[in-house]
Amino acid sequence: MLAYLLNSRTNVIFIIPFILGALTVFSFQPFNFTFINFLIIPLIFFLTLYVKKKSKNIYRKKPYLLNLFLLGYIFGIGYFLTGTYWISNSLSFDDNLKFLIPFTIILLPIFLGLFFGLATLLVGPFIRNDFTSILIFSSSFGTIDFLRGKLLSGFPWNLWVYSWSWSLETIQSLKFIGLYAGNLICVAFFCLPALFFFKKQKKNFILGTIFILIFFMNYIFGSISINKNNEIINNYNYYKNNFISVKIVSPSFDLKYNLTNTDTEELLVKLIKFSEPVESKSTIFVWPEGVFTGSNFKELKKYKSLFKSSFSKNHLIIFGVNTEKEENLSMKTFNSLIVTNNNLDIIYQYDKQKLVPFGEFLPMENVLKKLGLKKVTEGYGAFSKGSKQPLLNIEGFKIQPLICYEIIFPNLSEQHNYKNLIINISEDAWFGDSIGPQQHFAKAIFRAVENNVFLIRSANKGISAFIDNKGVIRKSLSPSETGSIELDIPIISNSSKKIKKDLIFFILLFTYVLIFVSLKNKIND
């Protein structure tokens, strides 16, 4: 049976890789069946090796390199088909865009699958049955994931390392090495079961054992780090005079455009009710992105009296809203996070830097508009891209804001090194009851760990939570829950020298390649 499957080019190049790619979704949120990757990645490794060996005889009618590319490409299509299908749900809110849903489900994986196709194409000619080939194999996949996160607008979604979101002990070292270096290590670690099928097993097992020991030492370090951090945070006296009180509001509103004055006022009344402000208590209220969908801040000014009567001078309100400003003699619209007082005066404004392609702006707008396409979000034309802005400073807290989609970009959260807190507001109603909101939330856990800061997340129909600097969820609300959660957040010292984590990725990559070049012949001697 196995011989029949492997002798069929259709099975080896198309069917088996597609199934394996589709199964990877179970390693990520909300399933968290991480250990399936210990099966999938070794199988892709051996399929790549098999195609390399057999293309010139069994598959001799087809080009050798094309076979290697197609293997990874079809795997990638399966990978992204099941992992990102939920994106198409955002098109269901506009009847004029519903016809695009089947195309979105298919076209996005077809495009993103090219990255995995390139990975197997690059590594296929060089791998053999030895440990060093695992390193060069993981180097190719890790590099391609790095490029996927950087090229064009970038889309670093569901990197292999994200499958460890449930194991906080495993990911603590990301504070030092960064996401992409951690992802590179993960691919190699997942591929280690291939060692059982190599010849000259002794030398291979020695190297593999060293790699496993490093991984478990990393786990022990993470466990100690989390326990020590818990002791400090739970010792209230340690920070009793050095904290801010924050209340996250999760309203679970349905998406609705073209809000009337009555609609807006009803939303505000509900948000205030969920906020439960106490006049004498200094509190920062965090509302999600998208609660005033399609509305402009100027339009909210008419509700100034409602803010003034509900909140006191001891309160600050943070929420997402569209803003406008004139630049170069033209009016531009931004997706913004603003901080206001009870008088609805803007204390601070952050304009979103990473806009969602087709969601918040239309690439090649002049061409695509002629084809009847438009951005998904309504209310205004394309949003303008914001620029790097100073941190928000509240009572000595240096706070970095991130809006929705921006939380998936590790480099964006690392723009400012000396910060104490990250605030992420999000609108997850776009993705309905799919796996999208859970996967989105997992990225926030990683940003907290990488930056060693508390992270506050307020999401409409997503997961709202207080996440501490080690990724521990202190309090949370599920996508279906409404109401608020409150926490006194301590100032976590984060004054260490900035680490260039992309550089660490390249150093590790170079090390992998150097080991491969140095030992590829010696290991089989």
Same domain, yes or no: 484 and 510: no
- Check whether residue 164 and residue 190 sit in a common domain: yes
Q: Which residues, listed in sequence order, are joined to residue 14 by a DSSP beta bridge?
A: none
371-427 tens-digit pLDDT: 454 544 554 457 889 888 899 999 888 999 999 999 999 999 988 878 999 999 999
**What's the total number of domains in the chain?**
2
CB 383 within 8 A of CB 335: yes
Both 196 and 268 in one domain: the answer is no
- Domain holding 350, by residue range, is 244-488
pLDDT in tens, 300-339: 999 999 999 999 999 999 999 999 987 777 788 999 999 9
Low-confidence ranges of the chain (pLDDT < 70): 1-4, 56-62, 91-97, 99-100, 200-201, 236-241, 359, 361-381, 493-498, 522-525
Task: For the chain, give the longest Cα–Cα distance.
Answer: 82
In a domain, 343, yes or no: yes
Strand order in the sheet with 392-394: 392-394, 397-403, 421-427, 454-460, 464-467, 473-477
One domain, residues 97 and 154: yes
- What pLDDT sits at residue 240? 63
Whether residue 494 is contained in a domain is answered as no
Same domain? For 188 and 284 the reply is no
337 with 193, same domain? no
Q: How high is the pLDDT of residue 1?
A: 63
Pair 455, 443: CB distance under 8 Å = no
CATH code of residue 340: 3.60.110.10
Indicate whether 397 and 518 sit together in one domain. no
CA 296 → CA 67, 346, 373, 378, 410, distances in Å?
53, 13, 24, 12, 29
Question: pLDDT at position 368, please?
Answer: 47
Asked, for residue 493, whether it belongs to a domain, the answer is no
87, 108 in Cβ contact below 8 A?
A: yes
The reply to whether 371 and 517 lie within a common domain is no
User: Is 237 within the bounds of a domain?
Assistant: no
Q: Are the C-beta atoms of residues 435 and 163 closer than 8 Å to each other? A: no
Contact indicator for 488, 242 with CB cutoff of 8 Å:
no
Q: What is the pLDDT of residue 290?
A: 84
Torsion over CA of 110, 114, 120 and 123, rounded to 10 degrees? Answer: 180
The model's pLDDT over 71-117, given as tens digits with 9 standing for 90+, comes to: 999 999 999 999 999 888 876 666 666 766 777 789 999 999 999 99
Assess if residue 248 is contained within a domain. yes
Same domain, 321 and 217: no
Residue 314's Cα: distance from chain center in Å?
34
- Domain identity same for 348 and 482: yes
| Same domain, yes or no: 251 and 224 | no
Same domain, 42 and 7: yes
- Per the domain annotation, does 497 fall within a domain? no
Residue 233 lies in a domain: no
In a domain, 357, yes or no: yes
